[in-house]
Amino acid sequence: MRRPALVRRERPLRGGQPLAFAVGLVVALAVGYVLLVMAGHEPMRVYQRMWEKSLSDSDAWSLTLNRAVPLGLAGLAVAVAGSMGLWNIGAEGQILAGAMGAAWVARIGETWSGPVLITAMLAAAFLAGGALALVPAVARARIGVNEIITTLMLNEIALRLVQWLIHGPWKDPESHNFPLTPMLPDQAKLPTLFGRAHWGVVIAGAVILVFAVAASRTGWGYELRVAGSSAETARYAGISLKRKILTVLLLSGAVAGLAGGVELSGTADRLTEGISNGFGYAGIIVAALALLRPSGVAFVALLFGAVQVGGQSIQIIGVSASVSTILQAFILFGAIGAGVLSRYEVRLVAGRAGAEEGAAA
């Protein structure tokens, strides 16, 4: 009896990844269309509003770019670790750590000049994110503890620390008993580029570009790829795996921490427990769709920024903002499915032989 099985193609389809991404977008829009109809909404009206509020003019672009900044940096953080076969699932907590570091500098440096204060805030955010990744990095490098578990657990610790600060020592005495920190000083805000877009767009773009070049055109990036593909080959080549693991996870955490600092200084007015807004988890999807390549993170983050901004805008016409979350999920599912089919084909094969052939592929 013959049955369908996935068999690896001799040569992957040309343009497989861009095509997979496009397929994922089409799948998401199609599924969203059906769900909107079932909910009693007009899909084309909803999609039109999402487009108008996210990409139609300079004001819409400014909102999308601001949203893409933390998504891009969080995606880069995951991609940096992924380039060596490591998974940093703690970007959410590292963003919070970065925001706390930046907020602390803003508190002690409220009389400093703007350029000095902003630079110090972003540096503190970078270091704080790296510090939160230190324990998972050491545990993974020294005793082989799975970094997925440790980075994920630290997300909750970072959140509880933020809650303690805003309910306790950093609570604004003029907040009428609400858990809020004082407003940032005016000079702690990043300057604007146009509309509502701030200089965090430039900072994030520069950081992504630096890591993209480093990953693809330097010896450091080559060593990461070698270490990620084969530990034995890395050892034979004289690459210290422990040192690479420490370096990569610390850099990954630091980049995520920078996202928290930029978000605090660029968009938020004060430190809150919701400042990360799920960016760290969304960054995992961004990195996955970019194939863990820093060079693809910016484009995916821009698309997801548009989807999120558009998703928030449709609440005014009575549609749940969760539509954007559903679209993000189906973009991922569709892209993964199309990516698999760009490398494999479905064939009808004999039952046992087919299983052996599929396993060998």
Domain with CATH 1.10.3470 in the chain: 64-312
Q: Is the pLDDT of residue 238 over 90?
A: no
- Residue of higher predicted confidence among 27 and 21: 27
Instruction: Name the pLDDT band for 136 (thresholds 50, 70, 90).
Output: very high
Average pLDDT value for residue range 52-59: 90
Question: How far is residue 332's CA from residue 343's CA, in Å, rounded to a whole number?
Answer: 17
Average pLDDT value for residue range 14-35: 81
* The predicted structure's pLDDT at residue 301: 93
Average pLDDT value for residue range 158-171: 94
* The predicted structure's pLDDT at residue 125: 97
Helices (H), the chain: 16-38, 43-54, 58-82, 91-108, 114-143, 147-167, 200-217, 219-229, 231-236, 241-266, 279-289, 294-313, 322-343, 351-360
Average pLDDT value for residue range 246-262: 96
Q: Is the pLDDT of residue 255 over 90?
A: yes
Q: Is the pLDDT of residue 331 over 50?
A: yes
Q: Is the pLDDT of residue 219 over 90?
A: no
* The predicted structure's pLDDT at residue 1: 67
List the single range of 5-19, 97-111, 243-257 with lowest mean pLDDT: 5-19
Own/partner pairs for 34-37, CB < 8 Å, 24+ apart?
35/323, 35/326, 36/319, 36/323
* The predicted structure's pLDDT at residue 85: 87
Instruction: Name the pLDDT band for 355 (thresholds 50, 70, 90).
Output: very low
Which residues are paired to 197 by β-bridges? Answer: 194
pLDDT digits (tens, 9 = 90+) for 309-322: 988 888 888 888 78
* The predicted structure's pLDDT at residue 328: 82
Question: How far is residue 214's CA from residue 301's CA, in Å, rounded to a whole number?
Answer: 20
* The predicted structure's pLDDT at residue 177: 79
List the single range of 25-39, 73-87, 108-122, 340-354 with lowest mean pLDDT: 340-354
- Residue of higher predicted confidence among 353 and 199: 199
* The predicted structure's pLDDT at residue 352: 55
* The predicted structure's pLDDT at residue 16: 63
Average pLDDT value for residue range 58-73: 95
Q: For residue 266, what are the contacts with CB-CB under 8 A and spacing of at least 6? A: 66, 69, 189, 190, 198, 199, 200
Residue 193, classed as helix, strand or coil, is: strand
Question: How far is residue 63's CA from residue 98's CA, in Å, rounded to a whole number?
Answer: 22
Average pLDDT value for residue range 243-253: 94
* The predicted structure's pLDDT at residue 221: 85
What's the predicted TM-score (pTM) here?
A: 0.88
Chain-wide mean pLDDT for the chain? Answer: 88
DSSP state of 39: T
User: What angle, rounded to 10 degrees, do the helices at 279-289 and 294-313 form?
Assistant: 130
What topology does CATH give the domain 64-312?
ABC transporter involved in vitamin B12 uptake, BtuC (1.10.3470)
Average pLDDT value for residue range 326-345: 78
Angle at Cα 103 formed by Cα 99 and Cα 106, nearest 5°? 145
* The predicted structure's pLDDT at residue 101: 97
Share of the chain above pLDDT 90, in %: 52
